[in-house]
């Protein structure tokens, strides 16, 4: 029993000699900050938040069925608004790809720049209506998230491309 007492006493004294309350409080504070930041840093699908932020309806000029619509400044593909869907939702029978390319487009209604995520809708063959190719903010292929020439349906259950939606992710600063 004395052996265990000595062992615990030595280990306790070693911990007491090598640490301090200030060190403990500093580490505890770091853990609290990291714990608070963790939900923001995790790769979680925040599509519902982005769709809820989609509110420039009053100042949303233009025809969503036209390639000249302001949200389509970096689009390359068929417009879902011509294929049975809308600007922000895929047609029935297709699913939205979870990976996307992005562009920054200016809304002429309010003069602000918006970050637009272009998601491909996958699962059915191309609707072949309202084909648009606009490359206003396209980057080279080695910057894939700013390039619209990739089949983004590779991240979906089906890699068959149907059309593309344009979802506002936020105001560009």
Catalytic residue set? 101, 120
Say which DSSP state 151 is in.
-
Per DSSP, 11 falls in state H
Q: How far is CA 147 from CA 109, 112, 164, in A?
A: 26, 23, 14
Judge contact between 105 and 70, C-beta under 8 A.
Answer: yes
Q: Closest Cα to residue 76, out of 152, 37, 134, 160?
A: 134
Q: Is 150 labelled a binding residue? A: yes
150: closest CA among 74, 72, 76?
Answer: 76
With H, G, I as helix, E, B as strand and everything else as coil, classify residue 173: coil
Element (H, E) at 166: strand 161-171
Q: Is 149 marked as binding a ligand?
A: yes
- The residue length of the chain stands at 173
Annotated ligand binding at 148? The verdict is yes
Query: Do 117 and 167 touch, CB atoms closer than 8 A?
Result: yes
Residue positions forming the annotated binding site for substrate: 76, 148-150
Residue positions forming the annotated binding site: 76, 148-150
């Amino acid at each position: 029993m004395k052996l265990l007492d000595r062992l615990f006493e030595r280990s306790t004294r070693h911990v007491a000699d090598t640490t301090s309350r200030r060190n403990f409080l500093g580490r505890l504070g770091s853990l609290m900050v990291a714990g608070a930041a963790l939900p923001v840093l995790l790769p979680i699908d925040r599509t519902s938040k982005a769709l809820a932020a989609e509110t420039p309806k009053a100042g949303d000029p233009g025809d969503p069925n036209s390639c000249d619509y302001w949200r389509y400044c970096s689009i390359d593909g068929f417009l879902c608004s011509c294929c049975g869907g809308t600007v922000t939702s895929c047609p029935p029978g297709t699913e939205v790809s979870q990976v996307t390319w992005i562009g920054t487009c200016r809304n002429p209604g309010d003069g602000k720049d918006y970050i637009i995520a272009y998601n491909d809708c996958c699962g059915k063959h191309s609707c072949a209506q309202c084909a648009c190719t606009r490359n206003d903010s396209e980057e080279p292929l080695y910057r894939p998230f700013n390039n619209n020439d990739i089949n983004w349906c590779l991240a979906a259950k089906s890699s068959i491309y149907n059309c593309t939606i344009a979802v506002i992710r936020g105001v560009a600063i």
